Amino acid sequence: MLSNIGIPGLIIILVITLIIFGPKKLPEIGSAFGKTLSEFKRSTNELLDDDDQEAPEPKK
């Protein structure tokens, strides 16, 4: 999804975000977004690791 946006799309999103929230809120929003993204990645990796551990070994 994000790979289709490109640089011009990201610039437009950043400008709109700056207009809506103002420059003082941007670091706070970025930090919260980063923490949310890292938590999502960690949870996804844990789920994938659990699935790999539960999968039975194929018989040869």
Domain holding 27, by residue range, is 23-54
- pLDDT value at position 23? 84
Is there a domain that residue 8 lies in?
no
Task: Give the pLDDT score at 39.
Answer: 94
How do residues 6-57 score in pLDDT, each as one tens digit?
A: 888 888 988 898 899 888 888 888 899 899 999 999 998 888 887 667 656 6
Is 42 among the domain residues?
Answer: yes
**Whole-number pLDDT of residue 59:** 66
For helices 6-21 and 26-54, give the axis angle rounded to 10 degrees.
Answer: 120
Classify 28 as helix, strand or coil.
helix
- Residue 22: predicted pLDDT: 87
State the distance between the two ends of the chain, measured CA to CA, in whole angstroms. 40
Report yes or no on 46 lying in a domain.
yes
Q: What is the pLDDT of residue 12?
A: 92
How many domains are there within the chain? 1
Report yes or no on 31 lying in a domain. yes
Domain assignment present for residue 39? The answer is yes
The structure's pTM equals 0.52
Phi-psi region of 56 (alpha: psi -120 to 50; beta: other; left: phi over 0): beta
